[in-house]
Amino acid sequence: MDRRQFLATGAALGTVCAFPAPALIAKGANEVVRVGMLGTGMRFGELHPGVLKASNAKLVALSDPDEARLGPHRERLGIEKAYTDLRKVLEDKEIDAILVTTCNQWHCLAGIWAMEAGKHVYVEKPLCLSFWEGEQLVKAAKKYNRLCQIGHQLRTDPIFHPAVQKFLHEEKALGKIESVRVNRFSVRRSIGKRETPLEIPKTVDYNLWLGPSQDLPMYRQQLHYDWHWMWNTGNGETGNWGSHLLDDCRNDIFQNRLSLPKRVLVSGSRVGLNDAGETPNMMVTYFDTGEIPVILAISGLESKTQRHFVGKCEGPSSGYVAYCEGGRYVKYWGGAVAYDNAGKEIRKFAGTALIDGGYAHFQNFADAIQAGDAAKLNAPIQVGYDSSCWYNAANFAYRLGQPFSREEALSVPNTGKMPEILDAMEEYLATQEIPMDSDHFKLSPMLELDSESYRFVGNFAKEANALADLRPGRGEFVVPEITL
């Protein structure tokens, strides 16, 4: 039986992908960490320089199902080992660690297979498409005794976070935190809508590209990147940028003591594009934390009359504002500023630049591997899993949405800035000749979460848990259930 037959048989029997049993957690403090990268798209371009720059790591292998992308990167970087099938990288006994920068549908399966093969794993966000598959990756790290880091690069900033948390929580310089507004205001243009299914480029091994996702006809204009906006392969902007921003908020505002929100309510839609995309481009999510209400506001519809404009935004276009008794804490991409109630700047916090944060985040991963100490990871996989439940819960709520009702949306008490955000969004949509009514917008049911079981409870729990329990799998590419 060849390997392909073996894998297919294993999947049919419900077994996991078979690789040699993992060795000890660390190779040794004096050895260079040999790294294989899976996926050579945009995130590869942003992250591989961090591997090249690291003092104790070496990039030795690449994989991508598209030869048109794989070949040029292999030649440019002088990488000897390059494969369309990522399993070739995982089978290589000389490789210590894997960076997963694939399409989202591959993140969990690739990470699990890598840890089964004895590799440590750095996996990009969004972590997962369902609660269930994310949980399997967390279990795999425990079962195979591997280090697993989530790509939330903002967590690697050893000066910024302690200073902010001391300012907000120990000194209580702005008093009680009353609510938080998280923003992602940035243009997302149409991905097109074909009359016939997209023809897959001949350079792509489409079976490998799909992996555990379903083989569905695609009516968008291009294969790469725009998979973000399809539920089969992506998490939309909620998981794309929302993953970073919500995790950053959890880190400094809640100091990681809050794993899940208590309730989630979503208003939103995909409007003004008439394309093949499925995920919303305008969305307001209320997270009830039991103490500080958090609102995630997403606006991606470009104005018909003003290029790059997506509506008025209070606070940074990518970041968040914490509204406090004594002022505001404004976290933008790369730093933060605190203001008193009169609008006077009282403190500025310098943050690591995004690109440097990416380098430092990988360096932290490599250092933890050499130390053989998972406690040294700045973003261990459990942190990534908890944050994934926030943005995935928002997506599940949206997908269960009913026709929008303004009265019902505003009937919920203590929702922080949600009323004024909805007002501003309605005003902007009116300028685009799009009414925020039941024909164009959705309002989700209020979904309730249990932080002990990581399950939805209460009204619509059955429908929400059906989405949370999704077990991705197709043919030989099946996310395995990990038992401890």
pLDDT reading at 433 higher than 90 = yes
Residue 30 has pLDDT above 90, yes or no: no
Cα 334 from Cα 350, distance rounded (Å): 7
Give me the pLDDT at residue 351, please.
87
Chain-centre distance for alpha carbon 178:
26
Tokens 């018909």 locate to: 304
Residue 13 pLDDT greater than 80, yes or no? no
CB under 8 Å, gap of 24 or more: what pairs does 317-321 form? 317/183, 317/184, 317/185, 317/186, 318/183, 318/184, 318/185, 318/186, 318/241, 318/245, 319/182, 319/183, 319/245, 320/180, 320/181, 320/182, 320/183, 320/245, 320/248, 320/249, 320/253, 321/180, 321/181, 321/183
- Biggest CA pair distance of the chain: 74
**Residue 461, Cβ neighbours under 10 Å: how many?**
17
**Quick one: average pLDDT of 326-337?**
96
Question: Residue for token digits 């040794």?
Answer: 28
* Pairwise CA distance, residues 357 & 351, whole Å: 9
Tokens 């998280």 label which residue?
Answer: 182
Euclidean distance between CA atoms 106 and 129, whole angstroms: 10
| Beta-ladder partners of 450 | 455
Mean pLDDT of 97-117: 98
Q: Which helix (H) or strand (E) holds 320?
A: strand 318-324
Report residue 10 as tokens: 């294993």
Which CA distances in Å does 256 have to 51, 252, 333? 28, 8, 20
Amino acid at 85: D
Angle at 246 between CA 313 and CA 451, to 5 degrees: 135
| 102: CB partners within 8 A, 6+ apart | 38, 39, 86, 110, 124, 211
- With contact defined as beta carbons under 8 Å apart, do 44 and 73 qualify? yes
Eight-class DSSP state of 285 = E
Average pLDDT over all residues of the chain: 93
> Which band of pLDDT confidence, cut at 50, 70 and 90, is reported for residue 355?
low
Q: How many whole angstroms separate alpha carbon 324 and alpha carbon 178? A: 5
Q: Is the pLDDT of residue 5 over 70?
A: no
Which residue has 């050579």 as its token pair?
Answer: 40
CA distance 466 to 454: 13
Strand order in the sheet with 97-100: 81-83, 57-63, 33-38, 97-100, 120-123, 148-150
- What is this structure's pTM? 0.94
CA 362 to CA 355: how far, in whole Å? 11
Query: Which pLDDT band holds residue 353 (cuts at 50, 70, 90)?
Result: low
Closest by CA to 138, choosing from 117, 121, 119, 154, is 121
Answer yes or no: are the C-beta atoms of 273 and 183 closer than 8 Å: no
Strand, coil or helix: 147: coil
* Cβ-proximal residues to 45 (8 Å cutoff; 6+ apart), any chain: none
**Per-residue pLDDT for 365 more than 60?**
yes
Q: What is the mean pLDDT of residues 139-149?
A: 98
Predicted confidence at residue 201, as pLDDT, reads 97
Q: How confident is the model at residue 29 (pLDDT cuts 50, 70, 90)?
A: very low
* 19 pLDDT more than 90: no
